[in-house]
Structures are given as C-alpha cells and as structure tokens.
Structure 1
Amino acid sequence: MLRVVLLSILMALPAAAQDRAGVERQFQAWLEQTIWPRASREGVSRGTFDAAFDGVGLQWELPDLRPPGFPPPAETRQTQAEFGNPGKYFNRGSIDGATSVGRQMARTHAGTLAAVERATGVPGHIILAIWGRESGYGRVDIPHDAFRVLGTKGFMSTRADYFTDELVALLQIAEAGHAPEDAMRSSWAGALGQPQFMPSSFLNYAADGSGDGRADIWRSEADTIASIGTYLARHGWQPGRDWGFEVAVPESVSCTLEGPDQGRAIRDWAAMGITRVGGKAFPQNELPGEGFLLMPAGRNGPAFIVTPNFYTLKDYNMSDLYALFVGHVGDRIAYGMGDFEGRWGNVGGLMRSDVAAMQRALQEQGHDVGGADGLAGFKTRRSIGRWQEASGRPATCFPEPGMVAALR
C-alpha cells in the first residue's frame, strides 16, 4: 500500500522534479538562448563564451535555489549570525587571526596603504580589516567555479535577475583577459579574488595599485588594497571621520532610537547621557558630526554610536555585524584596542520563520519593520522595543522566543 501511495505522489510531481537531467537541459538552453545574446551584445566572443561553459553544469548544493518543476524546499533552521546570537560573529579565532595577520600586512604594505589613503581618504587599517575578513589576506581557498556558481544562481536562484547580470559581467572580465589563467574561482555567491568583488564591482572599482597598468585582484596585493580603497571612496567614505565608537547607553535612553534615519549630532547623544566606554571622550572633531545609535543585539549586547562611514562599510556587505567586525578589527590593528566592553547576551536561536511571524504581527499593529523577511534589522529591533514599551514591558529591542505567542 505504501509503495502505491509513493508511486502516486511521484506521478503527480512535474517531470522535472523527478529528473535533474531535464533541468540541466533547460539550463543549457537558457545559456544559449538568454545569456549568449546578452553577452554578445556586450562584446563577448563566441570562443570566450564556449570556453567559459565547457563542461559546466548546475551546482545543486548552492543555497536559495528554486529549480523549475521542483517543490519549494522545506524550511530549515537558520544558522547565519544575523538569526542567531550576534556574539558568535566575533569569535576569538576570527578576531585574533584577522588582527595579528593584519598588523603584519600593515608593516609589509605600509607604502601602498599610505598612498591609497592619500588618494582615497580611506584609512589603511580599514582596508586591511576588509581584506582580512573577505579572504584572510589572500590566504583562504576560493573553491568554486565562478561560471558554474553564477550560471546556477542566474538560472534558478531567488535573485535570478541580479545573478544573471553578474554572469554577463563575469563573461566581460573573461573576454578582456583581466584574470590570470584558471583564476575564475569564486565564493558560493560568485565573489572574486582577494577583495571578493562581485564581477560588476570589479568592472566598476578594480584599481591598479602596483603601477603596472593592470588591476589584478587575484595575485596583486597592491591592486587588492587599491581596489578596496577605491570601492569605499566611491561609495561615500568621509575622510577624517571614524566609523564609530562603543558606548554605554543609560536606561533613560530608549533602544528604539536606533537606526540610520534617527541621526543627530554626536554632541547631542552625549548630552543625553551616552558615553564612550573606558572613560574616553568623543574626539572633538566628531562632536558636531552626525552619529547614529546601533544596538545589534538590543539591550543584550554592546552598543555603539556610528558615523556615516559605518554605512559605507555596509555597502561592501549589507550586514550590521560585518561592518562592526571590520571597524573593530581595524581598531585593533591600528590602535591595539581590546575586546568590546559590552558582553553579548545569550540570545538568538530563533528560526527565521519565527522572526517573520513577529514582523507580520507588528505590521498588523502599524509598525514599520522593514518587511516580513525574517531578518532582525534595525527597523524590526526598534519596532519590538516600541511594542514592548507600549505593552508595559522592559524594552530589549531584540526578538525573543516568547514574543511570537505574545504578539498574536
């Protein structure tokens, strides 16, 4: 009986769901009918195109895929830092490794870092911290075939249009001969080289730091440094300003004041009772500048006043924790700073669907949570805090397990 039921289920599925080979054939047709015409219009030769996809099939194990004819994947528990305890992002090994090697690189490449800082206004220690986070200063293995990754994601990911554009940009890089032979390796998302640029970012921001007339982000450390500095400068880095400061936030200042749309002069935050940790004063040149409250774990972790440069770092990777890691490691490299004084609480462990359920409930109450996407961004954090305050609860501004039921 069970066998009959299983057979009936299989017969009810689309043919492609029973046959990956059928999806592979659709992929090859898509390359020929969609990608080749676009690439050709961008000046890619047939020889380059054929060489790029010779023997290339779909990479089925990549995340966020929606194969045609297959049922949606079952929900899985989130393990990324944004959905768990934020403190895990700042593990001892990652922090210490990026710092110690970064200090060595600061000495080795002092001349290049100084030249790039003069040209772009971006401090060398910030460039080093990004380089360390992205590729371990070029020491981390980059495992995937870039054409296979971007081909797969362009054909059947949840952001197919974006990855299709990146695939065409990758073909343009191959046509121009920018990459060394056999260097077209990428992350699971299609990022290239030591700075982990997406192909379009390479075309727009890759820079020659060595003076040889090329921008080689695969083999040249000088070009890697110059490219990261150029990227940040063109995304609005403000020379002369820091990225931010760890602070103590008194109970009289609500965590609902967090966010890049609630900025005020740093002197005004100080007047509200917010102080730098360790008894340090805010630099005089920063006091009139705009600052923003950042509490990535709400009341359950360290707090910060960040500057517009923090959000420039987020242009490199759209994660509060990524930008915070870069700023923190940069400070450790340049100034010998220690760990955050605030401690990360034992929070997190939620499924993304739990956070999304909270967001939908808050939306129904009129809160702007930034979309019910299961991501606990600043709009969601402060909306939780506003709901807590309105319902007579202490405001923590961070998702907690009991909130799902309480919000219903």
Structure 2
Amino acid sequence: MSKSNWRLGLAAGIAMAFAFCSNQGFAASKSEIEAQFQIWLANDLWPEAKAKGISKATFDQAFAGVTLNFDLPDLVMPGEEPKTPQKQAQSEFGSPGKYFNTKTVNAVTSGGTARAGQYGRILKAVESKYGVPGEIALAIWGRESGFGSVKIPYNAFTVLGTKAFMATRKDMFRGELVAALEIIEKGYIGAGSMKSSWAGALGQPQFMPTSYLEHAVDFDGDGKRDIWNSVPDTLGSIAHYLAQYGWQRGRDWGYEVNVPESVSCALEGPDQGKPFAAWAKLGIARVNGKPFPSGETKREGFLLMPAGRHGPAFIVTKNFYVLKEYNMSDLYALFIGHAGDRIAHGAAEFSAGWGDVGGLYRSDIAGLQKTLEKKGYDAGGADGFPGFKTRRSIGDWQAKQGMAPTCFPDKDLIKAIG
C-alpha cells in the first residue's frame, strides 16, 4: 500500500471512530483529536499549501513539534456544536469610559512622548514617506504591544493551526495559516521566531499574517520586514497600513465638540457627513473655543457620539475611519486619536465626562437590535455591538416617542422598547 493510500485509510478510520463516538454520545479524547489534527495537516492543509508555492521543507519546519492548544478560546471540539457565551463583560458593553481608564491612557501617552524624542528621526522619515503623523504611529504601537514590552509568547503555527482546525471561524484562520507559511517561505522570519498573540496576531503592530504580507515594510533597509524586533520596521509598517487604507496627509482625525440639545444625536455616522461649515452653522463648536481649521470649512466631517448623550462628542474626519480599519471599534479609533493628541500637544482629558451607563451583556444589546429592526429601523444587524447604526436608531425611536434622545442603550430603554 502506498503512503498516500495508507494515510487516506488512516484518516478514514479516525473519521469513522469520531462518528461512532458522536453517535454513542461519547466525547473524543484529546489524544484522538490530536491524531485527527496531524492527519488534517498532512492530507488537507499540505495540498493547499503546496498549491500556493509552499515547499515541503518550509511546511515541515513550521509544524515541527506543533500540537493543538486546547486552552485557546473559541474552540469547537470535533462533533460538538458551537457554544454561545452567556455573559460578556467587554468594555464596549459597559460604560465606554472604561476604555479610557487613566492608567492605560497615561501609559501610552508617557511612553509615546518619551519615544517621540528617542525615535524622532525615524518618525520624521515615516511621516515624510506615508503622511501619517508620528504620534499616531506611536499611539498604535503603544496600544498594541506596550511599545514592544508586552510578551508575545505563542508559537504562531500552534495558534493558527489550532484555530484553523477547530475554531468557530475555521475558514478565516485557515487563510491566515497559509499566509503565515508564505511569510516563512519568503524568508522574512524563521518559523521558530514567529511569535503571535493568542489570536494569531504577529509582532509589535499585531498584524494578522495576511495583513503582514500586504502592509509590513522593511523600513530599516536590512532586507527583512521584522515587526518583532525592529522599531523602524514596526513604525513604518503601522504607517504604511494606514496610508494604504486612505490616510489623508495633513488632516487631523477629529475634534471634540459641544453639541446643542437642538441637534439630534441621531445625525451620527460616516454616511451622514456634512461640510464642517454646516456643522458649525448648526451651533456645533469645538470645546476649546477655537474655530475649526479654515482648511476644513468645505471638507466633510462626521458626528461621532460613542456614548450618545452620556459622553463627549466629536466631529471627525475621514482619517478617523482609517484608524477604524486597524481595529473596527469607534472606541479604539478614538483612543488612538486622543492618545496621539496628548503625545503631540500634551492635550488634556476630554472636556465632557463619560456617563455611568452600561451593565448590559452582548445578548441584551442583540435583543434590542432585533426589536429595533422589527420596528423598521436599521440597527446594523443583531451583532450585540452598540455601533453608530444602533445608537442613532435608538435616538430616532426615542424622538418618535416624545422622549429626549440619548442614543445609547440602557436597561430602562430595553424595557421600554420591548
């Protein structure tokens, strides 16, 4: 019997064993799952990798000694159905203000300020080439990896292999796993040195492998895109990422503003932009008393109220939404912009405080979104995240009920709208 036929026979035998266990109500043991993983690597993943130009030497080197990590989150054991978490406590589901805790903001700000001087020449070169201000690149670097101080302990092929084999988003991680093999094949880093987070993000900028291939750059000129050890490559790669997503040179990300009660918080969103002059005509003004820059008068700005009427408000530029491409969260993009301002100008805290709202789980918000959509509102889907479509739908519903719009979910609102 040929080796390939033997492997196929073994794979079929293991699959039959799993089917038997499932039918009998028995959970497969970790050793059985591990055996299936090794067969999957050889008979399923390897043919795809080979077709993408990965050599057998690279493949074997990447997976030498790699076994499943059963402690990673979001795994679905073979034969089991995905489980939905009953409780969630991420900051996005509580008061948005928790995302801006003083310790984290100060760490990024002070660390960025110190490095602005230390790496001034590099930052100037990065901004000259990509148009992204150095303080923005520093803020992302600090937020993602503590300026390289946070340990990135996992073997990337262990994480990506485990998740590609049995995570809730197997197809996505499979693509990332093949991309990681391409990185090794191209010689950018050795397999043993490719460290990642528990989610498979690489290096100091925390790029997924596909993002690494598209956005990482060799800014120090040594022939490698070393986002694990090289500060120039790290800063250059972050700026290149933002530039490729459309960062507009010479524009700020946005400005904190006061929004009169006469202006509805439901005007929020990237699809409801107005010229800065039009926002000013509505009575919206910067909290520091300065006018909007004259260069922005005819350019489009967008209302952002991440906590509705329970927190600070902003008129942001398209660069804010470029920051969101790094992490699809309004709060993340706002954190980066705010920290960047503090690094560059020593800016103060937000003028308006964050209200003590929240205490909801993702399932609570998802239920609210379903209710809103049944009533004809576009809440952006029932994903459990209170994004701008959900916030403004809440505001529109409240206004129709004769209520003062707050544009943010809370327990009383859920009871009222249900």
Q: Is the 8 A contact 2:22 2:79 kept in 1?
A: no
Which residue of 2 is the match for residue 4 of structure 1? none
For 2:349, the equivalent position in structure 1 comes to 339
| Partners of 1:14 and 1:69 within 8 A in 2 | no
Q: Secondary structure at the match of 2:411?
A: coil
Residue 130 (structure 2) pairs with residue 120 (structure 1): yes
Q: Deviations over 1:343-374 (max 9, x none)?
A: 11111121111111101111110111111111
- 2:285 maps to which residue? 275
User: 1:165 corresponds to which letter in structure 2?
Assistant: G
258-267 vs 79-88, which moves further:
79-88
Moved more, 21-30 or 333-342: 21-30
Unmatched tracts of structure 2, length 5 or more: 1-20
Partner of 2:166: 156
Contact 1:82 1:375 in 2 (8 A): yes
Q: How far 1:85 moved relative to its partner?
A: 1.5
Shift of 1:269: 0.6
Aligned-partner Cα distance in 2 for 1:170–1:12: 33
Alpha-carbon offset, residue 212 of structure 1: 2.1
Q: CA deviation at 1:80?
A: 1.5
* 1:323 paired to 2:308: no
Among 165, 168, 181, the residue aligned to 1:171: 181
Residue 249 (structure 2) pairs with residue 239 (structure 1): yes
Matching of residues 319-398 of structure 1 within 5 Å: 319-398=329-408
Partners of 2:81 and 2:211 lie apart in 1 by: 34
Opposite residue 219 of structure 1, the aligned amino acid is N
SS in 1 for 2:257: strand
Paired residue secondary structure (1:246)? strand
User: How far off is 1:391 after superposition?
Assistant: 1.4
Residue number among 276, 293, 296 corresponding to 1:266 in the alignment: 276
Give the deviation of 1:403 after TM superposition.
2.7
Question: Which of 16, 24, 33 does residue 23 from structure 1 map onto?
Answer: 33
Query: Counterpart in 2 of 1:312?
Result: 322
Question: 1:12: how far off?
Answer: 8.0
User: 5 Å matches for 1:181-192?
Assistant: 182-192=192-202
Instruction: Give SS of 1:17's match.
Output: coil
The Cα of 1:71 is off from its aligned counterpart by: 4.0
Matched-pair contact (CA < 8 Å) for 1:146–1:186: yes
- The question of whether the paired residues in 1 share the 8 Å contact of 2:137 and 2:235 is answered with yes
**Residues of 2 paired with 1:326 and 1:228: CA distance?**
12
CA-atom RMSD in angstroms: 1.7
Pair 112,391 (structure 1): closer, same or farther in 2 beyond 3 Å? same
Contact 1:185-1:192 within 8 A present in 2 as well: yes
**1:43-62 map, 5 Å:** 43-62=53-72
- Paired residues of 2:62 and 2:192 also in contact (CA < 8 A): no
Of 230, 235, 246 in structure 2, the residue corresponding to residue 220 of structure 1 is 230
41-50 or 21-30: bigger deviation: 21-30
Partner residue, 1:98 = 108
Per-residue CA deviations over 1:227-254 (Å, capped at 9, x if unaligned) read: 1111111110000110011111110010
Q: 2:156 aligns with which of 134, 146, 149?
A: 146
8 Å contact from structure 1 (residues 243, 308) kept in 2? yes
Contact conserved, 1:250 with 1:273, CA < 8 A, in 2? yes
- Structure 1 residues 306, 47: closer, same or farther in 2, change over 3 A? same
The alignment partner of 1:171 has SS state of: helix
**Which residue does the alignment assign to 2:259?**
249
* Alignment coverage as a number of residue pairs: 398
TM-score normalized with structure 2 length: 0.91
Larger mean Cα displacement after TM superposition, 57-66 or 150-159: 57-66
Query: Which one is further off, 154-163 or 351-360?
Result: 154-163
Shift in CA distance, 339/239, structure 1 to aligned 2, threshold 3 Å: same
Q: Is the 8 A contact 1:78 1:84 kept in 2?
A: no
The whole-number CA distance in structure 2 between the counterparts of 1:250 and 1:27 is 59
- Residues 205-214 or 88-97, more deviating: 205-214
Which residue of the partner structure matches residue 206 of structure 1? 216
State the one-letter code of the partner of 1:198: M
Q: 1:31-74 CA deviation, whole Å, 9 max, x = no partner?
A: 22222111112222212212222232222232322222224325
Q: What letter corresponds to residue 58 of structure 1 in structure 2?
A: L
Report Cα offsets for 1:64-103 as digits up to 9, x if no partner.
Answer: 2222222432533212222121111111111111111111
**Distance in 1, Cα, partners of 2:223 & 2:194:** 20
Name 1:73's counterpart in structure 2.
83
Match of 2:8 in 1: none
For the residue of structure 1 that corresponds to 2:115, the secondary structure is: helix
Report the TM-score when normalising by structure 1.
0.94
Between 1:12-21 and 1:355-364, the stretch displaced more is 12-21
Structure 2 vs 1, CA of residues 74 and 310 (structure 1 numbering), >3 Å: closer, same or farther?
closer
| Rounded Cα–Cα distance in structure 1 between residues aligned with 2:40 and 2:394 | 44
